[in-house]
Structure 1
């Protein structure tokens, strides 16, 4: 029988919260099954809260307080744990950030920039400073660290999640950072492909119409213990969709999007060639520089 992993309550507020939850539950001699009985949540969901891998929803916190007789402790503290989990991230993204940690599959379309899970520090910083040029550097640093920490998903030994991303060719050609840094950004993605952690596809610039032309960032997730969900994001807002009929439409559209894109092998070759162009000082877009003064 596998030895269970102990929780280091000093690691973070969510870890302390989860450790306290496990301690109080086991002190009463209750199993996970007995604790969640009568709620709308499963055993794995509560287990992941104890291990600081998921946030505690308010309704579940109230249920746990009733079962454990903890006089509202977990309800009072769940907001603090939620805020600590999402330091450096927008509040509207909290549900999808929790979900990606336990997802079986993640399928993403990100038309304007490389997805956050794939970004290097330099690329992420350029995007953050462009969006909030007057923000204190210290606040930007917090956001960058939080974004880079999400990539730990690709370091897990169990190989979850399966991540599939569709990118437009324009992302490979748009010099958001210096040529050397753009090469590093592309190398980062190539390395993940070579390690069999992600599957990329590129939509060539001349591919014509595709189902997501009017859509912003879109993420489709599936889970072992929960229905699939979709997350869409614009500049200052994000929406989580769990309506089964609508989720199904998004999944079908994503299948059509993949059909328009190049195969993974050809997409990888295109990214490697773009990275090499940046390293060699060539224009990755194949166009000669034009002076705005002559426009």
Structure 2
């Protein structure tokens, strides 16, 4: 679904929510209290600024007796089968974020991956997958990266542990290409990247994958992920703690200039190890 069509559909979602809420005699505050979000969030849903999580859509359906309408709309608009169910909402939010900040302890973040690297990661997690499945996942990941190429791209900041530069995902040639791409993104000023060196010690063990997103007209979110699940939260207290953790990680990272030098040195090391073609 094109972005314009998707936005129009979310506007329809919002207008239907407003109509059914008013028909049921609820204010935004009253409905929010009954589905465990603020009245302000209900207003943002109705204006198509914020997209509800699935459990909120389900609670709205139950309260307004809408026969699963809002859950079905959620699945139609967010539940992209190319992504794990817990990640589909994150992809939707990427399209409207004004700032994205990530910490990656082991793998290059998806928005910065090359096709070869994404393919190696997908195969590692799905060793018996068909070629069609693998290529679908790779294409979806590369499509996400378009947000960094758009004129209205978000401010993007990534903090990587040195593991990311050293683990030979896909082999030496793939890593050389991936790290070269990463350096190119930095040199083109499409992203700010810092590396936490091994010498930083325990700081890199404070959290797993972490992503923070900010928006023009909606509260910030934090997203954490393990190998099998992810958690998207917008509770202000939790997001504030996540932001504090990110600040600590960034404080022990190398400067952007030193990080770029380390990335390019690692790329050269892999290039020398790659087999001649």
Equivalent residue number for residue 145 of structure 2: 151
> 236, 260, 265: which one pairs with 1:268?
260
Please tell me whether the aligned partners of residues 13 and 46 of structure 2 are also in contact (alpha carbons under 8 angstroms). no
Equivalent residue number for residue 18 of structure 2: none
TM-score norm. by structure 2 comes to 0.77
Equivalent residue number for residue 105 of structure 1: 99
Looking at structure 2, the residues matched to 18 and 271 of structure 1 have their Cα atoms a distance apart, in angstroms, of: 38
The verdict on how the C-alpha distance between 1:73 and 1:102 changes in structure 2, with shifts beyond 3 A counting, is same
Structure 1 stretches of 5 or more lacking a match?
Answer: 1-10, 27-36, 283-295
- Measured against aligned partners, the alpha-carbon deviations of 1:180-219 in whole angstroms (never above 9, x if no partner) come to 2211101111111112111000011112221x50422111
Looking at structure 1, the residues matched to 45 and 208 of structure 2 have their Cα atoms a distance apart, in angstroms, of: 32
TM-score norm. by structure 1 comes to 0.73
Displacement over 3 Å in runs of 4+? 14-26, 37-49, 54-60, 71-77
The structure that has the greater radius of gyration is 1
Structure 2 stretches of 5 or more lacking a match?
Answer: 16-26, 29-38
Equivalent residue number for residue 178 of structure 2: 185
Looking at structure 2, the residues matched to 262 and 24 of structure 1 have their Cα atoms a distance apart, in angstroms, of: 45
- Measured against aligned partners, the alpha-carbon deviations of 1:217-247 in whole angstroms (never above 9, x if no partner) come to 1111111111111100001100112221121
> 163, 166, 179: which one pairs with 1:170?
163
- Measured against aligned partners, the alpha-carbon deviations of 1:243-273 in whole angstroms (never above 9, x if no partner) come to 2112111111111111100000110111111
Please tell me whether the aligned partners of residues 103 and 221 of structure 1 are also in contact (alpha carbons under 8 angstroms). yes
User: Offset of 1:82 from its aligned partner?
Assistant: 2.8
C-alpha RMSD of matched pairs (Å): 3.4
Equivalent residue number for residue 80 of structure 2: 86
Structure number having the greater helix percentage: 2
Is structure 2 residue 202 aligned with structure 1 residue 199? no
